[in-house]
A and B are shown apart, each in its own frame.
Chain A
Amino acid sequence: MNGDPTLERIARGNALALCAAGPWTARFAPMLERMVADAERLSGTRPNIFIDVSQVSKLDTFGAWLIERLRRSLTTGGVETQIAGLSDNYSSLVDEVRRVKAEPIAQTDRVTITGMLEQIGRAVAGIGGTLIGLIDMLGAVLAATAHILIRPRRFRLTSTIHHLEQVCWRAVPIVVLITFLIGCIISQQGIFHFRKFGADIFVVDMLGVLVLREIGVLLVAIMVAGRSGSAYTAELGSMKMREEIDALRTMGFDPIEVLILPRMLALVLALPILAFLGAMAALYGGGLVAWLYGGVEPEAFLLRLRDAISIDHFVVGLIKAPVMAAVIGIVACVEGLAVQGSAESLGQHTTSSVVKGIFFVIVMDGVFAIFFASIGM
């Protein structure tokens, strides 16, 4: 082929000349590598080999290195090897390449059974670390709160309001929509199954208890963990990556007080409000479906609701909300501050912020269920 690089073998008496010609550049690297690998097998066949590069039209690092690699492997094979015909333009490049140390660096990542076991062990041990981290952050946040209570002027009202807008006000449409739909679905399923026993009206009991006590707050908490917990982790994480948090610290500000406390407070205020709105939307949706699908008149629905639901159910739901908010906030902030330098690490910590946030919300819900059952609420 015209325009392709070549490496011809020409015998000159006892010696062999390898004549390189054409462009020895990156574009042709795969082809060059194959030619050089072929030529390397010549080692040991001749006492003397010349590599003639006078016909090379263009040379770059790839070509220069492959010629150097050929020279080295022939020399190690016991052949006198010389490079001839090197033009002045390229001599400095070849000199540069000659200084390269050839020993390949060991790649360290190999999968072994012991390695996998070690990983599992480390992951399990890491659970303890996670819990300690969370308690640590809880303590730091409480300490910062105490500071603020002593010196209320240091409280960052603007920042808190800003975050309140982000996590509460802007979350209202999606929270209301989803809880409304869930209310509709619970009501429809309830009526569908209860009708078999002629117990249509009990759907109101089920809807009321479920929505006010469990689903309302749990669902909203999960949504908030996905929506705001992830945002907190990503914000704090990218600030950490760009040393903004270190900058704050060196200026004499406590990052917990400046960044984390306003976010935590916003979340703790937002979740009860969202849980309340969510519960109302779900009851409304459930009532609507009960009326349109189950034929339960709104008056009958409200009357039944008043009989079936005590204020306790509602209070239980709302007591849980700020605690869950605190858990979500602490997990998100711990993960955010744990971000290392890379974009990948930011992604990992944001993911684990949401996953852990939802996990702890559900665990908390279980703990609360036991607690309220014991005190008879």
Chain B
Amino acid sequence: MATEISDAIIRVRDITVQFGKTRVLDGLNLDVKRGEILGFVGPSGAGKSVLTRTIIGLVPKLSGRIEVFGVDLDAASASERRGVERRWGILFQQGALFSSLTVRQNIQFPVREYLNVSQRLLDEIMVAKLGMVGLRPEVADRYPSELSGGMIKRVALARALALDPELVFLDEPTSGLDPIGAGDFDELVRTLQRTLGLTVFMVTHDLDSLYTACDRIAVLGNGKIIAAGSIADMQASQHPWLREYFHGKRARAVMG
């Protein structure tokens, strides 16, 4: 992982994160290439979400450097940082839709705040985004509490995509979805990546997602990246956790 990748969109160097006395991330290095879908796996509690939240700045780090779009986030001024934040979209594990706003308002919220465009364009873009995530315009005036789990994920993705970001973070996008819904979601992420030229950083537990959606896989263990590469590299790896993960009962079922 020490090799430099020239067109890295996210560059994480020597990140250490500690909660109290527990060291969650310990000198971690990671590069995410422009235009790829990176699947990020690891045992529960290994710190996958912590890394995501550290990159987007929600968790303070002890040491290390994070560059997104070539901007060092620690050295960036407030306006540079806002510029970076406008170029990424984040899908939280539980959706994190604003519960007192309708679907329409949720999707339009970031657009309305950042761009001074007409209500007509806001509405049209909202319908376009809903269409992209496979929802019908009729759901626009519902509240998040009136949506199913899969719809919440889709609306949250539409909100993450509202400003046409170049980079999206997906935190367990398929957890809590039925296998067919999850398959659709993987397909959707692939399609969007192709149409919009997105870079996707996806934390997942779903083997199907790794096989169908991801270009590259990074594995977290003991606070470090223990392996990164294609799905074939992962299967060939001798690391005990990887062997268990990719050759276990569930993995065999997925591979057929």
Chain A residues within 8 Å of B, Cβ to Cβ = 25-27, 29-30, 33, 60-62, 65-66, 69, 89, 92-93, 96-97, 99-102, 104-105, 108, 340-345
Contacts and interface: CB of A to CB of B under 8 A. Distances in A.
Interface of B: 98-100, 104, 111, 114-118, 120-121, 123-125, 127-129, 131-132, 137, 140-141, 143-146, 161, 163-164, 194-197
A105 B115 contact: no
Contact of B164 (A62, A105, A108, A342): A62
B195 A104 contact: no
**A interface majority secondary structure:** helix
A100 B99 contact: no
Contacts of B132: 61, 96
B124 A342 contact: no
Contact of B145 (A62, A96, A105, A342): A342
Nearest to B166: A60
Contacts of A26: 111, 114-115, 163-164
A339 B235 CA distance: 49
A61 B100 contact: no
A100 B127 contact: yes
B86 to A, nearest CB: 8
A30 B137 CA distance: 24
Contacts of A108: 141
A61 to B, nearest CB: 5
Main secondary structure of the interface of B (DSSP, over half): helix
Nearest to B161: A61
A101 B124 CA distance: 9
A30 B128 contact: no
26 contacts: A25-B164, A26-B163, A26-B164, A27-B115, A61-B128, A61-B132, A61-B161, A62-B121, A62-B125, A66-B121, A89-B197, A92-B194, A92-B195, A93-B195, A93-B196, A96-B131, A100-B124, A100-B127, A101-B131, A104-B123, A105-B141, A108-B141, A340-B145, A341-B144, A342-B144, A343-B99
Contacts of B98: 343
B99 A344 contact: yes
B123 A61 contact: no
A30 B112 CA distance: 11
A61 B125 contact: yes
Contact of B121 (A29, A340, A342): A29
Given A105-B127, A105-B140, A344-B100, 17 more contacts: A26-B163, A29-B115, A30-B115, A30-B116, A33-B118, A60-B196, A61-B128, A61-B164, A65-B125, A96-B131, A97-B128, A100-B124, A100-B131, A340-B145, A341-B145, A343-B99, A343-B100
